[in-house]
Structure 1
Amino acid sequence: MCRWKILATTALAAMLVAATAVLPVSPRELHALATATPEQVGMSVERLGRITTMLKKEIADGKLPGAVVMVARKGTIVYSDAIGFQDKGAETPMKLDSIFRIYSMTKPLVSVAAMMLVEDGVIQLTDPVSKFLPAFKDMQVSVASTGADGKTTYTNVPAAKPITVQDLLRHSAGLAYAEITKNEPVKAAYVEAKFSQPGVHEYDSRDMTPAEQVARMAKIPLIHQPATMWEYSMAVDILGRAIEAASGKRLAVFLEERLFKPLNMGDSGFWVPSSKISRLAQPLPVDPASGLKTSVLDVSAEPKNDSGGAGGVSTATDYLRFGQMLLNGGELDGVRVLSRSTIKLMTSDHLGTRVAMPLQPGELLLGTPGYTFGLGFAVRQGDGVAGVPGSAGEFMWAGYAGTFFWVDPQEEIVGVYMTQAPSPIRAYYRKMFKALVYQALAD
């Protein structure tokens, strides 16, 4: 398999001018995403400036290394800034084209890829995963029971129904993350199978081939019966393997051909080539919130498998284009990658009353209820309940290293926040950024 070619970057573009200050400028043309003054699209330039003020304070206090933030409204960029350090140890300033490990923000990209194959007629959401990956036929489920002595024991029973593609997309497959699950035998099995090295390399299974990944995971019992419980997991890693089996192409190649190239997402992929490694953002060596040594993925070398759940790299510019495509109903720059009906399906509630969620997606992401899950995104159920500003129908996701994005169709907003800060307080910065965007609405 030839090495995946990542596209080159483009030219410089100026940003916005206010009466007393110049808004941060973009170092590269954003193609069809034109710039506008905030007032032209119903936002306040002064209030948007509070985003920079607050992030500068957090960075000066040593809580964050740096960040890139971008906001678009009504199809135009109204705010863009690179703050702090790309690599604080080397005193390298953050730049708008800095590249970030996006971890779980890879999942929406891969979910879109899967839906492309649904539109092609190659995959159906109700297909059993075993149609594409036979090893996942006849799975076992690890069931907990509590004895009279109060001790919990686990027994394996056959899965009542097969895992479907829809289950992978909405995290109801019964798969797990070793870092999250409370099922101790399954947690131990994931660690033994090298899907995680807790405290060393979180969410890292790049050092095994796709075939090895499938074979190892299929031997591990599920933590829930399929289609019964929402629990965040390695489901999208397996979805990536199903995409490869159904398309006959490596996941990186499929995404390059069908998503990244059409949308001019020239810095997105699964590793950073040597020609771009100087743009890779780095975390602080020690997390100031926990006091623990920071460990992140090594993305300088081509992985043995393209991790659809946590292996991606991207820039704020690229991800803003992806978000704008979603807001536009599947189209950007005159190029359509998905239909409007498919975007609607992906951003609808796919849990309902049939799939339980003791821990809601919004609680995992932002520390607040109010969100259900669609196909690749958390979806807001109403204007209220959630402890952050927003609108019913907005959708979002985030990444372990602190990255975050959301799309609000009602307000026509796309927000992207990129940093490398895998800290337990990362939800605080997501909520802060989101609130500071909404308080800048002036129409």
Structure 2
Amino acid sequence: MEMLTRALLLVVLLVGSVGPIKAADVTVSKPETVGLSSAKLAEMKAHFQTYIDENKLAGITTLIARRGKVVHFETYGDRDKEASSVMQKDTVFRIYSMTKPITGIAMMMLWEEGKFKLDDPVSKYLPSFRNQKVFRGALDGGKLDTAPVERDATIRDLMRHTAGLTYGYFGDTPVDRMYRNSDLYDQKNDLKTLVKKLGRMPLLYQPGEAWVYSLSVDVQGRLIEVLSGKSLDTFFNERIFTPLGMVDTGFQVRQDQVSRFSAVYGLNKETGLTALKPGEGLLSDFKKKPTFLSGGGGLLSTTADYWRFAQMVANGGTFDGVRYVKASTVEMMRKDQLPKKLGGIAGGKAGLGFGLDFAVVNDVAKNGGATRKGEYFWGGYASTLFWIDPEEEVVAVLMTNFIPSRLYPLRNEMRQYVYDALEDAE
């Protein structure tokens, strides 16, 4: 795999560059050239530094671009406090669920090629999803009462989290407990095995009847393999990472990245900020290529790499003159795809809808006031975030290394500082 990646990268370099691309090699322009205030962004930098000074977070990076120009790229604190290794612009992070939009773009590449229709049943390509059952209630003895699906889950359902699947860790229904108690998350599973096991699980609800965050993007990862005939990592590398110059993004920490790989931290009630020990799954050290290539949460990346991806999306599917998907495809992905009867995520209480592997802002007031209508975004388990504002032409990336993701309000704080910094361009 590494030889293939190097070979592909060499081709790109020969035809389109004069030297190796480095993720941290991002030209930073003066904020005022695109209508942002340097003084306001300096206030944000000072505020984020307090998270470090107060030992709430180990390290952070922030990147802001407008109209295609990066105008702010800052680092704070440490990549690894215990090793006294300061945060760098090329630090490699676990991006967890920020993998999902990348999987979504990969899916839509195949959709543009006519490999599937959004309203095709998933079972057309993944036989284990045929004749699924839906949970109705618990019976005596721990058994579940189920009923046949009223309609098959579609690929659109997968991409908007309405397929009836769940994660098993955000709820405590009998179906959630079944997920947790099964071997779905056995790291020996590959995508093919995961999908087979998942297809035998009862759905939590009828397809299209609820929005529940789920393993559906990992199912998309398997669909990419089936539809393309390539492993998920190969498809990502060939079609997205290599041509975009995302040289530090992948499912594994290369040997040359080990010294740049961020530790991950949590909060211990007795000792405060504490490094979490490497283990399996979410806390893997990623030195070995995983068997389970998670399209829902398995990628590692850098701030600059992820900006290149997000800027490509914001540009309507192009970057540096190369088209990845059509502008109309991005337009569709960022529009709310949820059935009107659902009212949005959580019944519309948060003011959010869901497109195709992106959350979208429908109601700013309900969402707390820090976002803008039409913004689309997603975050990761270790408190990371990116968002795209098509109206203001803003792309922003926040990387950090702290679990859980909602303990501190830095995501909305960054949004507020960015929008407070907007002013007329020179």
For the criterion TM > 0.5, the same-fold answer is yes
Summarize the Cα distance change of 1:355–1:59 in structure 2 as closer, same or farther, 3 Å threshold: same
Counterpart in the other structure of 2:235: 254
Name the amino acid aligned to 1:194. D
Summarize the Cα distance change of 1:64–1:2 in structure 2 as closer, same or farther, 3 Å threshold: closer
How far apart, in 1, do the equivalents of 2:99 and 2:220 lie? 12
* 1:103 partnered with 2:84: no
Counterpart in the other structure of 1:201: none
**1:74 pairs with one of 54, 67, 79:** 67
How far apart, in 2, do the equivalents of 1:91 and 1:230 lie? 43
Summarize the Cα distance change of 1:71–1:48 in structure 2 as closer, same or farther, 3 Å threshold: same
Tell me which moved more, 169-178 or 433-442. Answer: 433-442
3-state DSSP of counterpart to 1:262: helix
Name the amino acid aligned to 1:431. N
3-state DSSP of counterpart to 1:282: coil
In the TM superposition, 1:255-404 aligns within 5 A as 255-284=236-265, 286-287=267-268, 294=276, 296-355=283-342, 357=344, 359=346, 369-404=350-385
Name the amino acid aligned to 2:381. Y
The Cα of 1:384 is off from its aligned counterpart by 3.5
How far apart, in 2, do the equivalents of 1:396 and 1:163 lie? 24
Summarize the Cα distance change of 1:243–1:64 in structure 2 as closer, same or farther, 3 Å threshold: same
The Cα of 1:192 is off from its aligned counterpart by 2.7
Counterpart in the other structure of 1:165: 155
How far apart, in 2, do the equivalents of 1:379 and 1:341 lie? 16
Percent identity of equivalent pairs: 36
Output one character per residue of 1:25-52: Cα deviation in whole Å (capped at 9) or x when no partner: x98323xxx5321111111111101222
Counterpart in the other structure of 1:22: none
**1:117 pairs with one of 101, 107, 110:** 110
8 Å CA contact 1:127, 1:164 repeated in 2:
yes
Output one character per residue of 1:29-78: Cα deviation in whole Å (capped at 9) or x when no partner: 23xxx532111111111110122211211111111010111000111011
Tell me which moved more, 383-392 or 251-260. Answer: 383-392
**2:122 pairs with one of 113, 126, 129:** 129
How far apart, in 1, do the equivalents of 2:209 and 2:50 lie? 44
Counterpart in the other structure of 1:139: 132
8 Å CA contact 1:206, 1:306 repeated in 2:
no
How far apart, in 2, do the equivalents of 1:187 and 1:114 lie? 27
3-state DSSP of counterpart to 1:415: strand
The Cα of 1:383 is off from its aligned counterpart by 4.5
How far apart, in 2, do the equivalents of 1:357 and 1:154 lie? 29
Summarize the Cα distance change of 1:434–1:11 in structure 2 as closer, same or farther, 3 Å threshold: farther
Summarize the Cα distance change of 1:381–1:311 in structure 2 as closer, same or farther, 3 Å threshold: same
Name the amino acid aligned to 1:87. D
* 1:177 partnered with 2:167: yes
Summarize the Cα distance change of 1:107–1:360 in structure 2 as closer, same or farther, 3 Å threshold: farther
8 Å CA contact 1:12, 1:29 repeated in 2:
no
8 Å CA contact 1:145, 1:153 repeated in 2:
yes
3-state DSSP of counterpart to 1:345: helix
Summarize the Cα distance change of 1:208–1:3 in structure 2 as closer, same or farther, 3 Å threshold: farther
Summarize the Cα distance change of 1:390–1:116 in structure 2 as closer, same or farther, 3 Å threshold: same
3-state DSSP of counterpart to 1:35: coil
Counterpart in the other structure of 1:23: none
* 1:29 partnered with 2:18: no
What TM-score do you get using the length of structure 1 for normalisation? 0.86
Counterpart in the other structure of 2:280: none
The Cα of 1:404 is off from its aligned counterpart by 0.3
How far apart, in 1, do the equivalents of 2:396 and 2:317 lie? 17
How far apart, in 2, do the equivalents of 1:56 and 1:11 lie? 34
Output one character per residue of 1:329-363: Cα deviation in whole Å (capped at 9) or x when no partner: 110100000001000000001014144656268x7
The Cα of 1:181 is off from its aligned counterpart by 2.5
How far apart, in 2, do the equivalents of 1:12 and 1:28 lie? 12
How far apart, in 2, do the equivalents of 1:442 and 1:87 lie? 37
Counterpart in the other structure of 1:431: 412
8 Å CA contact 2:244, 2:319 repeated in 1:
yes
The Cα of 1:210 is off from its aligned counterpart by 2.0
RMSD: 2.7
The Cα of 1:164 is off from its aligned counterpart by 0.8
How far apart, in 2, do the equivalents of 1:358 and 1:77 lie? 32
Output one character per residue of 1:72-102: Cα deviation in whole Å (capped at 9) or x when no partner: 0111011001110000111100000000001
Summarize the Cα distance change of 1:378–1:249 in structure 2 as closer, same or farther, 3 Å threshold: same
How far apart, in 2, do the equivalents of 1:403 and 1:299 lie? 18
Name the amino acid aligned to 1:240. G
**2:183 pairs with one of 194, 203, 209:** 194
Summarize the Cα distance change of 1:401–1:285 in structure 2 as closer, same or farther, 3 Å threshold: closer
8 Å CA contact 1:4, 1:252 repeated in 2:
no
The Cα of 1:385 is off from its aligned counterpart by 2.9
Q: What are structure 1's unaligned runs of at least 5 residues?
A: 14-25, 197-204, 364-368
8 Å CA contact 2:263, 2:275 repeated in 1:
no
The Cα of 1:397 is off from its aligned counterpart by 0.2
How far apart, in 2, do the equivalents of 1:417 and 1:287 lie? 23
Summarize the Cα distance change of 1:27–1:321 in structure 2 as closer, same or farther, 3 Å threshold: closer
Q: What are structure 2's unaligned runs of at least 5 residues?
A: 278-282
How far apart, in 1, do the equivalents of 2:37 and 2:386 lie? 21
